[in-house]
Structure 1
Amino acid sequence: MDLKDHIRGIPDFPKPGIMFLDISTLLRHGAAWRSAMARLADIIRPYKPDMLAGIESRGFLVAAPLALELGLGFVMLRKPRKLPGLTIGLNYALEYGTDRIEMQADAVKKGDRVVVLDDLLATGGTLAAGISLLRQAGAEVPCAATLIELSFLNGRARLDVPFESLMTYDS
């Protein structure tokens, strides 16, 4: 099954000149979604994670079912002020401005092996921030993964861990 057949391109979203790759068409096709999760599980399993982390919000859709498939725990990396209890956070640079992600301070233990996931790798800033935040909490990050990589933006160059994706778009 070619998973790209289940990704819809929406032109000029969120602004003119951008082709948004919409995973909602993959999510609503049961067989394709199951295939995507099984393929990601096969890719992630050799990294021997203790848990998976998903980046808000579409990364949750990838990491949570994958954690269930692999019998692992799941950690949320969220936008500021969205998590209860004590949190730790990291500010990071975007192409035009800054952003912040946070996680609960007790979400991982020192030495936990945590694979971080998102739906798509573009310029790599958010995924790199997720890796840094997990390390700040004491975790080891053996790998990062996404459903889709926009290879023409060279986001993987910003990551200092092995990177895996199911689908690559070259333009």
Structure 2
Amino acid sequence: MKILIINDNKAVSIDGLTIENLEFDIDDKIHCISFDTELKKGVVEYKNDFNKNITVFDYSKYKELFDLELKKLNPPNTYSRFNVDTKEWIVDNSLFKNYNKSKIINELLNIDKEATRPTRSIKFAELQGNEPNIDDINKLIDLEKKAIKLRSQLDEL
């Protein structure tokens, strides 16, 4: 693993992925620290252009900060919030409810779109004095059954 700590913008980069604005304290004289955990080699670069080679570096606190921020950036779903005390994602019931409501409303809108063609076909047949196509009637019946079920689920939320 290659780790880079940049002091000025409080950034930690691990294997090329960088997260900035982390909270850590490091000597103000240091510009950055780079370390390769496999080679066990690194460099401390000071702001005065002095570099110091290192073979040992305890990067655990920086990796922990990095991993935590990365975790915060990747919620498991759209209805969870990050609990800073437990450092875990938890389901937010109000977000979950809103998520489900919007999902049901989208499904109802899709049902309305699907009903357009058979409704138009049935109406056209009636205007011409013909019997509507039974497949169109059955399609509308099926769609209305789905819509009734979804509206019932929406009422429960």
**Do both share a fold (TM > 0.5)?**
no
Give the TM-score taking structure 2 as reference length: 0.20
Structure number having the greater strand percentage: 1
TM-score (norm 1): 0.19
**Which has the larger share of helix?**
2
Task: Return the index of the structure with the highest Cα Rg.
Answer: 2
Report which structure shows greater RCO (CA 8 Å, sep ≥6).
1
